[in-house]
Structure 1
Amino acid sequence: MQFKKPKYLLITEKLGHKLPLVWCASALLIGVFTLEIATAIFISFSSFFLTWFTCKLSGFFFSFQEHSGILKNHTYDNVIKAIWFITLFFFVVNFFKSLLIKTGSEAFLGCVFSIVYFAFMLSASNRWGMHFVEKHV
């Protein structure tokens, strides 16, 4: 039984790596004007790379379900949704904590690297519905 993919997962999937790219590019521009150029470049590029790497690595771990059927398919969909919502929560909390509590380069670093949480959201949205199908011989 296939369930329809929720709209928030479709939107996340559509944003894909465009959101982290725009996020890191705007962070690069902000960093160039407010921090040292080398620091801004390093933080922006490493944040984008870490987002990409996290997305690929978490997608690899989520793919175990498709091949082994560790969880029931309905449970797997609920786990994916839970991962999406939990990482959204941490993304928002980390961003605003960095923005409101921290100062200077520490705030910049926290705000830029908060996009890494989006990688888990993107990976979860990409893997939603990748159910285990038992193969009969």
Structure 2
Amino acid sequence: MQLKKPKYLLITQKLGLKLPLVWCGSAFLIGVFTQEIAAAIFISFSSFFLTWLTCKLSGFFFSFQEHSGILKNHTYDNVIKAIWFITLFCLVVNFFKSLLIKTGSEAFLGCVFSIVYYAFMLSASNRWGMYFVEKRV
């Protein structure tokens, strides 16, 4: 029995890598005007690359469930939801901590790189419902 995918996971899946692309593009434009140009380029591109890489690697680890059935399917859904909510919390906390506590280039770096947490959210939303199905020989 497969449950209906929650709306927040569907929205995350639909946004895909477009959100980090817009985030890093905006950070690049802000960085060009407020930071050194080389730093703005490096931070924006490396943030997007790290988001993409993290999404692929976490998706790889989440795929173990589909092939080995480590967890029961309903437990796996709850783990995926927990990962999504925990990383959303981490993204928001890291962004606001960088924005409010840090200053200058350190604040810029923290705010831009906080999007990397979104990679776990995206990967979790993509892997939700990928259940283990026992294959009889």
Give aligned pairs, total: 137
- In the TM superposition, residue 119 of structure 1 has moved relative to its aligned partner by 0.1
- Normalised to the residue count of structure 2, the TM-score between the two structures is 1.00
In 1, distance between residues paired with 2:35 and 2:72? 49
Residue pairs, 1:3-82, within 5 angstroms? 3-82=3-82
- In the TM superposition, residue 25 of structure 1 has moved relative to its aligned partner by 0.2
Q: Deviations over 1:24-78 (max 9, x none)?
A: 0000000000011000000000000000000000000000000000000000000
Q: Does 1:90 align with 2:99?
A: no
In 2, distance between residues paired with 1:76 and 1:39? 40
In 2, distance between residues paired with 1:96 and 1:35? 19
In 1, distance between residues paired with 2:42 and 2:107? 15
- Normalised to the residue count of structure 1, the TM-score between the two structures is 1.00
User: Once superposed, what is the RMSD of the aligned Cα atoms?
Assistant: 0.2
Residue pairs, 1:113-132, within 5 angstroms? 113-132=113-132
In 2, distance between residues paired with 1:36 and 1:92? 26
In 2, distance between residues paired with 1:136 and 1:11? 36
Structure 1 gaps of 5+ residues are: none
Q: Deviations over 1:76-122 (max 9, x none)?
A: 00000000000000000000000000000000000000000000000
Find the residue that maps to 1:70 and give its secondary structure. Answer: coil
Following TM superposition, the consecutive aligned residue runs of length 4 or more in structure 1 with deviations greater than 6 angstroms are none
